[in-house]
Structure 1
């Protein structure tokens, strides 16, 4: 067994902590299917070769790319929606077809052992930085993991809601996370799924995840995966972004940014951020989803141009008003 959770002092079920949550990732405590299958399949060379039967099946259905992008089970149009939005049988992928293999109803997914009613540490990986809320649900009594997971299997209300928890560590690493404590539901026994929904407060982007657990008196031990190496070393891909001015006029200009998968593994999404020169604002932007904070601009891929194999590229463009142009030719780029 691998111990990933610890019992800690009690905390209210609904928390509002200071600071800004900056989340883009997946649960690590209790680990989601994508995170634990990535750990299970990780080799010393950075290749993914799952050992767990359910993880191997997920690879057979969806390929290896979701293992390198374990933090990207998201819907850019989610807006926090759950029932009536994510279809039954697709809860663990959030309806994102890139992760269809992780919806499979099986009883051999990696498993976290817990104690009903205990107060534990939760950890949600922070691969990128965005504010938001976390809603944590659990399946109803009598849940059968060998049947398709539907919304009728999930308790109507979350047993824990977390409002903008603080960020620990540097985004873009496995160590970075949002950590909080909370009480697990009492009276549970046997196999269940803890279902987490993370809703950004600065865009409609919403993340969904399934963590397979068993309430058997455990303290966060994980079974069903082989002993991983150091999960902090491998980086799930790299990308580069180059900017060029495609037109300019008095009081404004137009630019195009080319994002290239510069790594040797596929990726499902990318992020580019930069700071506009003083006095400039973006009037319009296409082929990407943008967030603006003062002069800071962050652009995520659109639904259709985030999946890039090694060496492949995508572009987005934007129009700026304001004098002075922009001399930048490269912009910071991250996978996610």
Structure 2
């Protein structure tokens, strides 16, 4: 009987240890390092936004020093704050009551006015961001991981003559080219855009008003027409 009790005690100890191990492993999945979509919202997937593109290209290899030469704007963004890429789907502002231009000053459009305690500030820096090749008639595809829905999508494109490599984005650099109605909650929303007269490196600036709250996303995508 003593041996049986000893075996049962050992079994209980091993069960408890196993439970602790499972709990510890589970905790890894609530950190931004292991699950960038843990607090899922969304971003533009095509043309891809700056931070989403950096995460796609380097998320599995973000400490690789080759990034500094191969993708220098992503390099400076990763160095500034890795959470801007791990949380590529959280670039929004709340509480603007729709008057977002009053909350986002010139030179801060790509960070949504230094939102989220400045996490995304590096996205405002002009430079040789990787671009998506598009035609003057193109489609914006926005991923909504959380099925928030959309009150509207507004797509701005920089005017011809804007220099994306030297000039931080201002409201005056942009032309509003698409303004949609509501979208029912879904995983993706698309909007067709025509941007005649553009060539070279430009910025597509997508504003997504989520339907579930006073929450607006501001997304910079670099393109080559």
Q: Same fold (TM over 0.5)?
A: yes
Radius of gyration: which is bigger?
Answer: 2
Cα distance in 1 for residues equivalent to 2:125 and 2:53: 15
Aligned equivalents of 1:84 and 1:25: distance in 2? 23
Long gaps (5+) in structure 2: 1-39
Map of 1:68 onto structure 2: 86
CA contact (8 A) 1:110 1:212 kept: yes
Within the candidate set 35, 42, 57, 1:40 is matched to 57
Distance 1:181 1:76, change over 3 A: closer
Residue matched to 1:196 = 206
Encode CA deviations 1:285-328: one digit per residue, 9 max, x unaligned: xxxxxxxxxxxxxxxxxxxxxxxxxxxxxxxxxxxxxxxxxxxx
> What do residues 54-97 of structure 1 show as CA deviations (whole Å, max 9, x unaligned)?
00101122x21111100111112233333232011110010111
Q: In the alignment, which of 176, 197, 207 is matched to residue 187 of structure 1?
A: 197
1:212 alignment counterpart: 222
Contact 1:30 1:211 in 2 (8 A): yes
Do the aligned partners of residues 154 and 121 (structure 1) sit closer, same or farther apart at CA in structure 2, a change above 3 Å counting?
closer
Q: Match for residue 159 of structure 2?
A: 140
Q: Distance in 1 between matches of 2:168 and 2:133?
A: 22
Structure 1 gap ranges (5+): 1-22, 169-175, 216-336
Superposed CA offset, 1:31-68 (max 9, x none): 1001101112122xxx534721100101122x211111
Tell me, in whole angstroms, the C-alpha distance in 1 between the residues paired with 2:119 and 2:93. 11
Q: Which residue of 2 aligns with 1:125?
A: 143
Residue pair 2:110, 2:219 contacting (<8 A) in 1 also:
yes
1:85 maps onto 2:103 in alignment: yes
2:141 and 2:47 map into 1 onto residues whose CA distance is: 7
The answer as to whether partners of 1:79 and 1:199 remain within 8 angstroms in 2 is: no
Which structure has greater helix proportion? 2
> Aligned residue for 1:59?
78
What is the Cα deviation at residue 165 of structure 1? 2.9
CA contact (8 A) 1:73 1:208 kept: yes
Match of 1:112 in 2: 132
**Aligned equivalents of 2:94 and 2:218: distance in 1?**
11
Q: CA RMSD in A?
A: 1.9
- Taking structure 1 as reference, are residues 125 and 49 closer, same or farther at Cα in structure 2, changes over 3 Å only? farther
Partner of 1:234: none
Partner residue in 2 for 1:99? 120
Mapped to 2, the partners of 1:183 and 1:87 lie a distance apart of: 25
> 1:177 aligns to what?
188
Whole-Å Cα distance in 1 between the matches of residues 46 and 210 of structure 2? 20
Displacement, 1:121? 3.4
Deviation at 1:127, TM superposition (A): 1.8
CA distance in 1, matches of 2:102, 2:198: 26
1:177: Cα distance to partner? 2.1
Q: Structure 2-normalised TM-score?
A: 0.72
Q: Name the CA distance, whole Å, in 2 between partners of 1:195 and 1:121.
A: 13
Q: Distance in 1 between matches of 2:123 and 2:43?
A: 14
Query: Aligned partners of 2:202, 2:98: CA distance in 1, in Å?
Result: 23
Greater strand fraction, Structure 1 or Structure 2 = 1
* Alpha carbons 2:207, 2:216 under 8 Å: kept: yes
